[in-house]
Structure 1
Amino acid sequence: MSETVDGWTHVYSGKVRDLYVPTKMMDDDDSWTGDPLSHSPVVLVVASDRVSAFDEVLSPAIPGKGAMLTKLTRWWFDQLPEVPNHLAHPLDDRLEALELPEVPDELAERATLCRTLDMFPIECVVRGFITGGGFKEYQETGAIGGIPLPDGLSNGDRLPEPIFTPAWKAPLGEHDENISFERTVELVGDVVAEQLRELSLEIFEHASAIAEQRGLILADTKFEFGADRAIGIVTLADEVLTSDSSRYWDAEAYATAETPELRMASFDKQIVRDWLAANWDPEAVEEPPTLPHEIVEQTAERYRALVDRLTQGG
């Protein structure tokens, strides 16, 4: 699944991203135990074109997806200059002393050199509108993540104000679990929990305003944070406000479309999810089917459309 990168050793693969550390650090240090990321001050994050749905990596991949996710994350980091992030800057004296291997040109559009952080086991979900799993929870309980909401909300409605509804990041192979803020405090402490909530809501508000200027609605998103190993501050990490981590809608369609499907057509892989749900019964067939060419192309176009709308200002 992972790619070979000269000078870098592959240490982890997620559904979409592959992580690498400098090979010479592993070769020169016989103390490597457990997680290599706990030893290396830097990690090379390479976004693949892989696409997943219902916890399955599907075939074929979405052409250009990794480059688009990387471009959008870089762009959003530029829009958030006051928020500490995990990007490793080439002029950092600590990095210069490491004499890191070059990133191959063929990976440049998909690779990001990052400082390693002590990651918090929390997905920081912010919802400005009610839909998806949040709407299902609301229908059952009248609340999301323990936060009571007004009666009578419909799928796709704007919430009175954005809400922070965290999830616990389960170990690889297990499902993440929605948790209350009180449980977040138990996991990371009251000071960090409050910082995660405040930062998430502030970034969401700022990003929503930028999206609105471009005729887009940011319905919900998720952030991940870690502690900077040198100075301990809470630092934004991973992908940020991309199609894979966020739900965007077209503002005009939201206001004028006659059906929920058109009103809330998102700029992400929902096309893949819908097709797979209609064409695969995992209880009858273990392996998911191959995605049709037209589904792959339609999905790629939705990813491209969001990148263009945001980075080109309309």
Structure 2
Amino acid sequence: MEPVLEVDLKGALPLVSRGKVRDIYQVDERTLLFISTDRVSAYDVLMENGIPNKGEILTSLTVYWLKFLTGALPSLRSHLVTTDLPAGVPVNSRDMARNRSLVVRKLKVFPVEAIVRGYLAGSAWLEYKESGTVHGIPLPAGLMESDKIPDGPLYTPSTKAEQGKHDENIHPDKAADIVGAAYAEDIKEVSIRLYELASFHALQRGIIIADTKFEFGHDEVTNEIVLIDEVLTPDSSRFWSLESYQPGKPQDSFDKQFLRDWLTKQGLKGKEGTVMPEDVVTKSREKYIEAYEKLTGETFRD
């Protein structure tokens, strides 16, 4: 099974940008076409090979979560218009683009990543060990790696860096300086609410959402904050097995952590030109599929 590293639209639609994983095309003045490829990046570096079906899984999970969250929170607006391919996609490209594409509203993007953390892991754990804080927010002493954060999830934003540069963890007050106090508070409130809704749902399916990243756009006509980008996928979240969860150590993950661990062990962290061996590709694909099936209750079919 070969990964789809690029979907060639034969110049039928203007290319807006090509990211590490997703290609964005202009449909018209108001809408964009997102195509999620099977490319994979870790530590901000793109791997030379991809993971088959990854783009389909991320797209399907995003659609699933958008339906769930807008149903649970009727006031929530998302950028999704349709999963149907626009007429401009050439006939001989449609099979490859189908099931990995979203037509979305074109919006002004808030330049912060709305990260919500329910558990101490990753960079949050490293900062806590060093200073007893997470994004500059003090936490009680004596917490262990992977502990649930006392008093509820934390809103811990980061800057949204340009491609090729690194995001920077910031205090929520700094986010207010970037996007404005009114918008910052609304983004914080809705991000925590979305995390709480998704976390409760995922726990019923045997998955802990340790942390996740949301992104938002601004509808300048209605002045609404709109949920955009991929939502609660293995690429934007840290998923753990509830069954094997044990604080005080790293956890079994249903996300890119398996690939990150392999890169670190092999001394390849952050190195360009890395080719994943077949066993890492296979195991990573299995992790993505397992996350999809556990969260949705559906069997993944490519």
Q: Could you state the TM-score of these two structures normalised by the residue count of structure 1?
A: 0.85
Unaligned runs of 5+ in 2: none
Partner of 1:295 in structure 2? 280
Change (3 A) 1:313 1:143: farther
Out of 56, 78, 88, the position equivalent to 1:85 is 78
2:83–2:102: 8 Å Cα contact kept in structure 1?
Answer: no
1:72 equivalent to 2:61? Answer: yes
**Paired residue type of 2:58:** L
Larger Rg: 1
Deviates more, 1:158-167 or 1:227-236: 227-236
The answer as to 2:209 corresponding to 1:222 is: no
Residue deviations 1:209-236 (CA, integer Å, cap 9, x gap)? 1001111111100100010143220000
- SS class of match (1:20): strand
Partner residue in 2 for 1:14: 19
Tell me if structure 1 keeps the 8 A contact 2:34–2:104: yes
Q: Secondary structure at the match of 1:158?
A: coil
Q: Give the corresponding residue for 2:128.
A: 138
Distance across 1 between alignment mates of 2:269 and 2:142: 34
The structural deviation recorded for 1:182 is 1.2
Aligned to 2:31: 42
C-alpha contact (below 8 Å) 1:214/1:313 kept by paired residues: no
- In 1: Cα distance, 2:171 partner to 2:218 partner: 21
In 2, Cα distance between equivalents of 1:300 and 1:14? 20
- Paired position in structure 1 for 2:138: 148
Query: 1: distance between equivalents of 2:208 and 2:272?
Result: 35
Aligned to 2:7: 3
Match of 2:243, SS? helix
Question: Kindly tell me: are residues 219 and 313 of structure 1, through their superposed partners in 2, closer, same or farther at Cα, counting changes over 3 Å?
Answer: farther
Q: CA RMSD in A?
A: 2.2
Identify which of 161, 178, 190 aligns with 1:170: 161
**Secondary structure at 1:192's aligned position in 2?**
helix
CA apart distance, 1:89? 4.5
CA distance in 2, matches of 1:245, 1:116: 21
Question: Please, what TM-score do these two structures have when normalized by structure 2?
Answer: 0.89
When residues 277 and 208 of structure 1 are mapped into structure 2, their CA distance, relative to the original with a 3 A threshold, is same
CA drift of 1:3 comes to 2.9
Higher helix share: 1
Equivalent position to 2:259, from 248, 259, 272: 272
Q: CA deviation at 1:289?
A: 3.2
Larger displacement relative to structure 2 (222-231 or 118-127)? 222-231
Distance 2:181 2:16 in 1: 32
Q: What is residue 111 of structure 2 aligned with on the other side?
A: 121
Give CA deviations for 1:220-266 in whole Å, capped at 9, x if unaligned. Answer: 001000101432200000000000000111111115x9x835xx111
Number of aligned residue pairs: give it: 285
Unaligned runs of 5+ in 1: 26-39, 92-98
Q: Which residue of 2 aligns with 1:35?
A: none
Amino acid of the structure 2 residue aligned with 1:132: G
Of structures 1 and 2, the one with the larger relative CO (CA 8 A, separation 6+) is 2
Q: CA deviation at 1:183?
A: 0.9
